[in-house]
Chains A and B, each alone.
Chain A
């Protein structure tokens, strides 16, 4: 097969250049290998470079939320080159290994965390047919990799030979491991509805975006993804104003930069994943399948744009929350997870599974969505009612105190005193 410019442009528009080149060069082992490596390089480079833009975006948006101007010196009026300057600064800094550090662990940690942040992009469907690899266990793959990235935090904390770094690592691991539970449970719901763990099938199943079918699962996933990426209000892992940096306090230069980078890549991945699982990914009213003329599949390009718009919309919400909410305490984080998120998501999974079984197959996608939406709203109402009753009881016991800002120990003491003073409080 010889080179044909028209066909090449067509494949360029429909984002299937690799298929075209495979046809052009024949189906040999080295062709596949070269194309696969090229794909990996392109996706990784994209992830690494976009972080430069993301950091600028975050600083600018938060500055606007807080009525500041943000970076505006380097690179024109909008400070577009500020992050580039920061990256150059990080790259040319001296590489320090603290005295008594465990060299293997200290050096391995930043590499592992970036690897884990990049490898999950393999299952991200950017546009119809544009995906690293459509695993039939896609969602599970993402969960497995992100659970492994916890190890690198421990490596960093232990390898630094600094007890504060180690304590920071303990706190981080406690948070990450516990928020994995509601995250997995919340992801089970779209898996149940799509009857598949492959990200492509989940997108294909969203005639109605799952955000409108199971908003509760989307909310739980979003909250736990905030905690998993260590962002506000769950950013006490590296609360800058209190504990400097947590587990990576001993890191400097580009090794610190790599932790920073991994955090931003992870957040962008979470945004894209949320868009894929709950917002329908690249789908946009069938426009993603548009074909013009004799085989110009521009729909794929539209799908790509749609996916990016959705991803950055979700990313904007992450920044928005960071600019708005204060930080919570470690006991509040863990209590909120184990006593609220986990039970609610467990109930949600069970209700969704049973309900989905009882909805007849003849129902249309919209009727099915309506039934699930009703169930979700009911669960939310019941949860709010239970929480209200709990808060009321708590207020009565503590004599007007809301009970939200007391630690477990104080809570206990309050209850003890409240028992003694109950006759007075009853008046």
Chain B
């Protein structure tokens, strides 16, 4: 009961902030609302007992990505008077795409609820919160770490993501490297 109320409050907060992001004309305020929205998502993770994911959300999305977004806004726009039209001519198409995307995701979860259930060993998706044993929650970080390096687990996606990040890192260094003509 309490969890339901908390979930509803956090969801309402997240969605409100998300709406503010796309309607605010002041880009800086929009970025702040984006941060608040990310915070709401972190709160949702906490209600799902996914503490590590929540902290990662804070660290990566608010601590890094949002800061990057704000830097980009500050460096590319005229600083104090950022006022942009909130909607462009593609708003209709964007809405359509979003609705179709949501429909497809919902359809996948609904149609395949027997093959890929959201909660293991049940055929009832979207109904209730999964019940996770207490010892799994206590060791969730260690279990996740092992799953990432286990051939039977997620070692392939993990390595692919690592290589991607490494490539991005090398790319950033190449872009920032002083060009040959600069040296002369």
Q: Which residues of A are interface residues toward B (Cβ below 8 A)? A: 29, 100, 102, 104-105, 135-137, 140-141, 143-145, 147-148, 150-151, 154-155, 158, 161, 163, 166, 170, 173, 177, 180, 195-197
Partner of B67, one of A151, A161, A163, A196: A151
Given contacts A141-B55, A147-B63, contact A102 B28 (CB under 8 A): yes
Bin chain B's interface residue count. Answer: 20 to 34
Q: Which residues of B are interface residues toward A (Cβ below 8 A)? A: 2, 28-29, 32, 35, 51-52, 55-56, 58-59, 62-64, 66-67, 70-71, 74, 79-80, 137-142
Contact B63 A137 (CB under 8 A): no
Residue of B nearest to A173 (CB): B67
**Chain B residues positioned under 8 Å from A166 (CB to CB):** 74, 79
**Chain A interface secondary structure, helix, strand, loop or mixed?**
helix
Residue of B nearest to A159 (CB): B28
Contact A147 B62 (CB under 8 A): yes
**Chain A residues positioned under 8 Å from B29 (CB to CB):** 102, 104
Residue of A nearest to B63 (CB): A147
Given contacts A104-B29, A148-B62, A197-B141, contact A137 B55 (CB under 8 A): yes
Partner of B52, one of A104, A140, A145, A161: A140
List 7 other contacts, CB 8 Å, given A151-B67, A173-B71.
A102-B29, A137-B52, A140-B52, A147-B58, A147-B62, A150-B63, A197-B141
Q: How far is the CA of A136 from the CA of B153 in the complex (A)?
A: 22
Given contacts A144-B63, A147-B62, A151-B66, contact A136 B138 (CB under 8 A): yes
**Chain A residues positioned under 8 Å from B32 (CB to CB):** 104-105, 155
Q: How far is the CA of A150 from the CA of B67 in the complex (A)?
A: 8
Contact B28 A100 (CB under 8 A): no
**Chain B residues positioned under 8 Å from A102 (CB to CB):** 28-29
Residue of A nearest to B35 (CB): A151
**Chain A residues positioned under 8 Å from B51 (CB to CB):** 135-137, 141
Contact A100 B55 (CB under 8 A): no
Q: How far is the CA of A223 from the CA of B128 in the complex (A)?
A: 48
In the complex, how many angstroms separate the beta carbon of B57 from the nearest chain A beta carbon?
8
In the complex, how many angstroms separate the beta carbon of A104 from the nearest chain B beta carbon?
7
**Chain B residues positioned under 8 Å from A196 (CB to CB):** 142
In the complex, how many angstroms separate the beta carbon of B44 from the nearest chain A beta carbon?
15
Q: How far is the CA of A144 from the CA of B52 in the complex (A)?
A: 10
Q: How far is the CA of A150 from the CA of B62 in the complex (A)?
A: 9
Q: How far is the CA of A196 from the CA of B29 in the complex (A)?
A: 39
- With a 10 A CB-CB cut-off, give which of B32, B55, B64, B140 has the most chain A CB atoms: B55
In the complex, how many angstroms separate the beta carbon of B70 from the nearest chain A beta carbon?
6
A selection of 20 A-B contacts at a CB cut-off of 8 Å is A102-B28, A136-B51, A136-B138, A136-B139, A136-B140, A137-B51, A137-B52, A137-B55, A140-B56, A144-B55, A144-B58, A144-B59, A144-B63, A145-B58, A147-B59, A151-B62, A151-B67, A155-B32, A161-B80, A173-B67
In the complex, how many angstroms separate the beta carbon of A363 from the nearest chain B beta carbon?
21
Residue of B nearest to A146 (CB): B63
Residue of A nearest to B38 (CB): A148
